[in-house]
Structure 1
C-alpha cells in the first residue's frame, strides 16, 4: 500500500489548489439536480486500476484521469464476494443479508425491495440500465422455484418462462430505459441512435460486449442530456467467458498468460467506454452536472493457482488482487476490496480518500443529491458528499459487516475480525503493513471478544439468523491463504 500513500502525497498540492480555486463549488451543491452515473465492473481485482500504481501492465488512462481529478478510494468495499448478492446491495442501498439474498442461488431480488432507480424515478429522473442485471430468477434459483415455480425443480437445466422473469427485470424495477444483456442478446427499448423502440430483443453477434454496452450508455445519455438522469452501467468484464478482440488484444503484446492479456484488453475496452462517456458529457455541456461512481462488484477469481487454461474453460479471469489476501468467494480483502473512484468536476476536489467506503454509498449519495428522503435505517449506504468535500472529517461508516456462506467478518476502525462457522476466529490490524497476513488475535483477545459479540448480534438480526451455510466450499481457500481449516 506504500504506492497509494505516495500517490496521496503527489495529489496533495492538487487537492489544495482545487479547494482554493473551487471554494464555492466544493460545497457540493449543483446548479441543477445532478445526473448520476454508477459504473460497475465484473470480477475486477483491486490491482487493476492504473491510478493505484500497483501494476505495471494495466492501461486505464481515462479512469486514471477521473481518479486524479476526483476521489480515489483506497478502501472501497462491496458487501459480498459474489456477483448476485453484491449487485442486490448496490441496487437497493441495503445489505442484501437483510432481505435474504446472501448468495447466487438465492436470486431473484425480492419484489418487495425498493430499488434506488425506483426512488430516483419518483424524484423525476430518467433512469437507465445497461449491461448485466443478474437479479432475475435463473436456473439455479432453487429456493425461488420451491415457492413460485415448482416445475423448474423437475428439469435438469430449467429455463425460467419469460412471464415469470419479466417482473424481476430492470424494466420492471424502476428503469425507464433498458439495454439489458451480457453477451450478444439484449432486451431493449431504445436504439443506439437514442430513438424509442417498443420493448424488443436484439441479437448482435458482431459487436464485442463491452463496446456494445458503452454504445448503449452513450445512447441513453444522448436521449436524456437535457434532463436529470440516473444511469446504472454494469459492464460484463473482465468476467469470463473470454472473447478475443484483436483491436483490444493488440494493445498488450509480449509474453504473458493469455488470460492476463484478456483482463488487460477487456479493462482497456471499459476504459475506452468511460473515456467516451466523459467526452460526451463535455460535448453536451453537462460534465459539471454529473457525478460518476466507478467500482467492481467483487474481487478477481484467482482459483488459487491462476492457471492459464484454454479460453473455453471457466476459471481465472486474468485480473489480479495485488497485495490483497484471497479472492472472489472470500470475505478477505481480495474478495471484497475493489477499485473505487468518485468523480464530479468542480464539486469533489482531487484527493486520495483512505477511509472505508461501501458500494452501497453510491445509491445513498444519489438519493441525497436528488433530494430523496429515506427513513432512518431504511438504507445502509451513506451520502459521501459531506465526507468528500471536506465538511465531515469522520469516517462514513463506524462499522462494516459481511456474511457469506460459512464466513462472517466485521470492520471497525483499523480492526477486522473474522468468525467462521467452524469456530475459527482471526483478528487483523488493517492499518499495519501486515494487514491480513498476521493474525493478532492472541495479542488483543479483548478486542476480538468485543467485536465477536457485535458481529454475532448483527448476524442474528439478518433475515436468516446466524451463518447462511456451513463452512465448506471456502475451506480450500482458507487453508491456502490463511493456513486455517
Structure 2
C-alpha cells in the first residue's frame, strides 16, 4: 500500500509539472507527416474516398484549422522534406528531384531553431533528404531520433532475425533489398533496435508517446514522420485490421522453404529489382492493394490518436501545436486516392503537390476553421519563428501562417510560387487562381478500378499532357481545361516570372554534397 501511494504521489507530481508547462508561454510543437497520402484519403476533406476511416485525424482537424489549398514543396518526398525543414526553396542549393541537392551545412532547420529556443527535440520515423552533410537528424537539430534514413523501409520486417533469415537463404541478400530495406531501426545514429510482431507505424507512434511523457516540464519539439502509407504495402498491419477489411494475412515465415509473393525470395527470384517493380510499381495487380492501403492508413490514424491521448493525459494538449500533412501527393503505386484533382505523385499537376494540411493550437486557434488561401509547407518555419521569437538564419521563402489564421489577411501569398523538377522538364508557376504548367514529355499513370467488393479489378491508363498549360484553378480545380490559347498575356507573364525565379536558383546537383 505504501509503495502504491508513493507511486500515485509521484504520478500526481509529474502530472502537475506537465500541467504547469501546458500553461507556459512556449507551446509544445508536433509535426506529423504521412507518406504519399492521397488527397481524398482523410475524412475531414470535402471529398472523401469510400472506405476511409480516420476518426482521430477528423477530430484533430475539427479542433483547429484546415487548409484547403495547401501545397508541398515538391512532388517527391526527399525534396519536399527539405523545403519543409528549411522554409526555403530547396532549388537554392540544387535539390530538384531524387538524388539531388541533399541537406547542406549552410542551411538551418526548424529543429535547430527550436533547440535554440529552449526546446528538447526528437525526430521519429523517416528521414530522406538526398544525403548531404546534414542529413543525419543528429546533425540538423535533434537531440534524439529513432527511425531510418532511406526513401522507404519494410513496414513489418524490423528485426535482426529477419536480416539473418535472408542471409541464410542467400548470402548477402539482405543488402540487396536496398530500395525497401529490412531489419532493425536506428536510435541516435549508433544503436540498432529490433522489433517483433509490429509495424514501423506502431513503433513510431509509441516512441512519440514515450517522448511526450518524459521530462515534460520542458517544452518539446517532436517531428513524427511515418512511412505509412508508402510502398511496399504487401500485407495488412495486423489480424484485427485484416479481418475488418477482409484481407489475407500473408504472414512471413522466416523458416519456410519458399517465401511466396508478395514477399521477396532471393532464391526463387534472384533479381530484386524485378520483385520491387512488381510489388511497388504496379508490375503485378494486387486485388487487395486498396484495402491494404486503407488498413495501414487506419493504423496510422490510431497511432495519431494515441499521441493526442498522451497530450491530454499529460495536461499539455491545450498548449501544444500539432501540424499534420503529407510529404507530397498520393501515389498511384500505393493505391492512394487523390479525388478530383489531377494525376499523382512524381508530377506537378495538383495530384502530385496538393496535400491535406491541418494546424491545431487549442490555446490560440479557433476550432472548426477552414481556410481557402494558398499555403505551402515552407510556411511552417516562418510560423514557428514568429511563435518562438527566434529569427531565421537566412531569408525564408515561406511566410507565417498566423496572420492568415487570425483573420488579418485573406491571402498569404500574393507573390508567385514555383515548383521545378529539374531534368524531369516539368515546372510550375502559381499566382492567385492561375497555374502555368510546363511538361516537356508525356507521362502515364495507372489508376485502379475497384469491383463491388472493393477489390482492385483492373488498371486504366491516365495520361498527363505535355507542353505549356494554363489553368484557372478556381473554376477548374481538376486541371481539365487548358486556357493557354485564350490568355496569351497571362501565360507570357507567368512564364517570365518563372524564368526570373529560375535564374536565381542553383542548377541541379547530382549526388552527395561536399561537407
Q: CA shift at 1:205, angstroms? A: 3.6
- State the partner residue of 1:414: 433
Q: CA shift at 1:233, angstroms? A: 0.5
Distance 1:397 1:384, change over 3 A: farther
- State the partner residue of 2:386: 368
Whole-Å separation in 1 of the counterparts to 2:415 and 2:383: 17
Q: Does 1:204 align with 2:221?
A: no
The one of 362, 365, 383 equivalent to 1:345 is 362
Q: CA shift at 1:39, angstroms? A: 0.4
- State the partner residue of 2:3: none
Distance 1:416 1:251, change over 3 A: same
- State the partner residue of 2:27: 34
- State the partner residue of 1:289: 319
Q: CA shift at 1:338, angstroms? A: 1.0
Q: CA shift at 1:324, angstroms? A: 0.9
The one of 66, 76, 92 equivalent to 2:70 is 76
Q: CA shift at 1:342, angstroms? A: 1.0
Whole-Å separation in 2 of the counterparts to 1:231 and 1:77: 22
Whole-Å separation in 2 of the counterparts to 1:199 and 1:225: 25
Q: CA shift at 1:31, angstroms? A: 4.3
Structure 1 runs of 4+ with >6 Å offset:
none
Whole-Å separation in 1 of the counterparts to 2:141 and 2:245: 40
Q: Does 1:187 align with 2:181?
A: no
Q: Does 1:461 align with 2:508?
A: no
- State the partner residue of 2:418: 401
Moved more, 240-249 or 57-66: 240-249
Q: CA shift at 1:136, angstroms? A: 5.6
Q: Does 1:318 align with 2:335?
A: yes
Residues 247-272 of structure 1 show CA distances to partners (whole Å, capped at 9, x for unaligned) of 23333249994111121111111111
- State the partner residue of 1:173: 140
Q: CA shift at 1:352, angstroms? A: 1.3
- Greater Rg by CA: 2
Q: Does 1:233 align with 2:215?
A: no
- Stretches of structure 2 that go unaligned for 5 or more consecutive residues are 1-21, 159-183, 249-285, 442-465, 511-515
Residues 220-262 of structure 1 show CA distances to partners (whole Å, capped at 9, x for unaligned) of 1112422111111100011011242222333324999411112
Residues 415-471 of structure 1 show CA distances to partners (whole Å, capped at 9, x for unaligned) of 001133579211000000464110011111111110110011111211118xx99xx
The one of 235, 258, 261 equivalent to 2:291 is 261
- State the partner residue of 2:42: 49
Whole-Å separation in 2 of the counterparts to 1:74 and 1:30: 30
Whole-Å separation in 1 of the counterparts to 2:227 and 2:425: 27
Equivalent residues, number: 390
Asked whether the 8 Å contact 1:262–1:317 carries over to 2, the reply is no
Q: Does 1:249 align with 2:242?
A: yes
Residues 61-91 of structure 1 show CA distances to partners (whole Å, capped at 9, x for unaligned) of 0101111121111111001111111111111
- The CA RMSD measured in Å over matched residues stands at 2.4
Q: Output the TM-score relative to the length of structure 2.
A: 0.72
Whole-Å separation in 2 of the counterparts to 1:257 and 1:322: 20
- Stretches of structure 1 that go unaligned for 5 or more consecutive residues are 1-28, 138-143, 145-164, 190-197, 303-315, 470-485
Whole-Å separation in 2 of the counterparts to 1:335 and 1:253: 30
